[in-house]
Amino acid sequence: TLHSFLGLGIMAGGIEKTVQKALVDRRVRLRIRKAKGLIIDEISMISGATLDAAETVCRLAREVEEPWGGLKIIAVGDFAQLPPVENFRSGSPDWAFRSHSWKFSAFQTALLKQNLRSQNGDFLDILNMVRRGEVNEALESFLNDRIRQIPISFTGTRLFPRRVQADKLNDERLEGLKEELRVFPSIFQGERHHYESLLKFSPLPMELRLKKGALVMLRQNDPRGRWVNGSTGVLEKIGDDHLVIELLKGARVEIEKSSFSLLDAEGSVRASITNFPVSLAWAATIHKSQGMTLDRMAVDLRRLWEPGQAYVALSRITNPENLWISGWEASSIRADHEVAQYYRAIESEFLN
């Protein structure tokens, strides 16, 4: 993660103390000096305070007064999604584009137009309406057409705004399976003070509870392209060191345990967590779904409280025919005011 690569930790004590702590670590300084460039994915999830700390650490570590110490930076993401969960300032989201370092960096903007998750033009038009927070007749018609009873045999994932709702449904469905319960505790190795970060930034839980017949979600992309993060399937076989899953798209795959690691400047493992890269898939939170691609999905778009929540939920699906909606409210279709202004300014620059 950006935090571990730059030695930012959990940023306790504010930006100044975070920078001081990072620069004390010789391995962090060496890592930054060796780097030629840094790609920051999902930039919308990085707070302005975090970006300020990151830029300062890079500039001081490289001892060059240019932005980021002359390091080439590529930041990728969509601010119309959910805001950063940390470091709110004055009660409003601490977006990266509000930060001093964003202005200091003078990024050259490129607007990406092609959607690789879905090629359905009408559906993409609907998603853009939700992204902008526009509730009109076309959007109302689309959402109302997908309000339908979720079948008992539904094999997709239900998205909820709150974790307690998702956990409750997953526990109920797992309990309802008349199969042997297998429990796989995650294996931690290395420096103990990194364990909390591993649980936070990896998709692996403290322990994994599984039964044959459970609906599960694969939580990392397959290098061979057989599945992506968010692909779902039914668990057919549980071994001590492998799982057999029949994906909803028809393929039968075998997966083994995976490790997620924190590395030092030389690429050595400081700490790692190991388990099967799956989770129960009857339910998930909208926040956790960001970055996933879901095959089938049901969602309740009522009582959402954050701008971007409805957009993140609806944009997880590839085909609107595989979407079920329990209900929706116009007040849940919201875009952040500052984000809307930011994108209007960018688009006007491109037009001019």
* Average pLDDT, integer, range 245-249: 89
Q: Which two tokens stand for residue 190?
A: 């290395």
CA distance 43 to 48: 10
CA distance 93 to 340: 13
φ/ψ of residue 41, rounded to 5: -90, 160
Q: How many other C-beta atoms can be found within 10 angstroms of the C-beta atom of residue 275?
A: 22
Check: CB of residue 282 under 8 Å from CB of residue 170: yes
- Residues contacting residue 328 through CB under 8 Å, at least 6 positions apart: 143, 147, 301, 302, 310
Q: Which residue has the higher pLDDT, 300 or 198?
A: 300
> Mean pLDDT across the chain, nearest whole number?
88
Q: Is 65 exposed, middle or buried (0-12, 13-18, 19+ CB in 10 A)?
A: exposed
Look at the block and give the residue holding tokens 């950006």.
Answer: 2
Q: Which residue has the higher pLDDT, 347 or 115?
A: 347
- Residues contacting residue 4 through CB under 8 Å, at least 6 positions apart: 197, 201, 262, 263
For the segment 18-29, what is each residue's pLDDT rounded down to a tens digit? 888 888 888 889
CA distance 16 to 153: 54
Q: Which two tokens stand for residue 53?
A: 């700390």
Strand partners, 324: 298
How are beta strands 157-160 and 283-285 bridged, if at all? parallel
The domain locations on the chain are 2-105, 179-281
Min mean pLDDT across 79-93, 283-297, 312-326 is at 79-93
* Average pLDDT, integer, range 326-334: 94
CA distance 318 to 293: 7
Q: Which two tokens stand for residue 327?
A: 């209900």
φ/ψ of residue 28, rounded to 5: -65, -45
Instruction: State residue 266's pLDDT score.
Output: 56
CA distance 105 to 210: 47
CB-hemisphere CA count at 13 Å for 59? 14
* Average pLDDT, integer, range 217-229: 86
CA distance 19 to 341: 31
Q: Which two tokens stand for residue 139?
A: 């959007």
Per the document, the length of the chain is: 352
For the segment 37-87, what is each residue's pLDDT rounded down to a tens digit? 999 998 998 999 999 999 999 999 999 999 999 999 999 999 999 888 764
Check: CB of residue 316 under 8 Å from CB of residue 297: yes
For the segment 77-116, what is each residue's pLDDT rounded down to a tens digit? 999 998 887 644 556 789 999 999 999 999 999 888 887 7
CA distance 262 to 164: 29
For the segment 1-20, what is each residue's pLDDT rounded down to a tens digit? 788 788 887 676 788 888 88
For the segment 134-190, what is each residue's pLDDT rounded down to a tens digit? 999 999 999 999 999 888 888 889 999 988 999 999 999 999 999 999 999 999 988
